[in-house]
Amino acid sequence: MTSPSDPWGPSPDDPWTVPSPSPVTPELPVSGPPAAPGPVIVQIAEIAVTSTTVHTPAGDIPLAGSQWLVNDYWHSQQRIPKWAIVLAIVGFCVLTVLSLLFLLIKETVTQGTVQVTVTNGTRQYVARIPVTDQVAVTTINQQVNYVRTLAAL
């Protein structure tokens, strides 16, 4: 029997010693490197489109065979501009009655969202994009039409 201070270590026949575990090397699955995503061709809000995949915050959707839908939701309202309210208050001290005419000035404010829906099989993602003018709506529609042509290829 060897003592614990023995430089050669404990004897394998000693019942009081615990055998040291053999070093275990975890085996990694054998596969190639992950496929590198292509460059982003079109970015529509949080939706990024590459040549093969649609990247969304909810996960990736294959581009081939995907269907795209665009809906516009607008509302317009008329309100008094802030500058007219300021002029009415400041002018009230000078010309009481005439300054109240500034409160008759109205401006039309258009606000809304464009909803872009991408679907492929059972996977679907909806992006709601706030817009304030027709130029932004036209740009989104052009981008979606371009992606539709890519999905049909």
What is residue 30's predicted lDDT score, i.e. its pLDDT? Answer: 45
Instruction: Look at residue 5 and tell me whether its pLDDT is greater than 80.
Output: no
Instruction: Look up tokens 């607008």; give the residue.
Output: 74
Q: What is the pLDDT of residue 7?
A: 56
Residue 145 has which token pair? Answer: 């039409």
Torsion sign, CA atoms 36, 39, 41, 42: positive
**CA 131 from centre of chain:** 16
DSSP secondary structure, the chain, as one string: ---TT-TT---TT-TT-PPPPPP-PPPPP---PPPPP----EEETTEEE-SSEEEETTEEEESTT-EEEEEEEEEEEEE--HHHHHHHHHHHTT-HHHHGGGGG--EEEEEEEEEEEEEETTEEEEEEEEESSHHHHHHHHHHHHHHHHHHH-
Which pair of structure tokens corresponds to residue 143?
């981008």
Give tens-digit pLDDT for 60-108.
Answer: 999 998 999 999 998 888 999 999 999 888 888 877 778 888 888 999 8
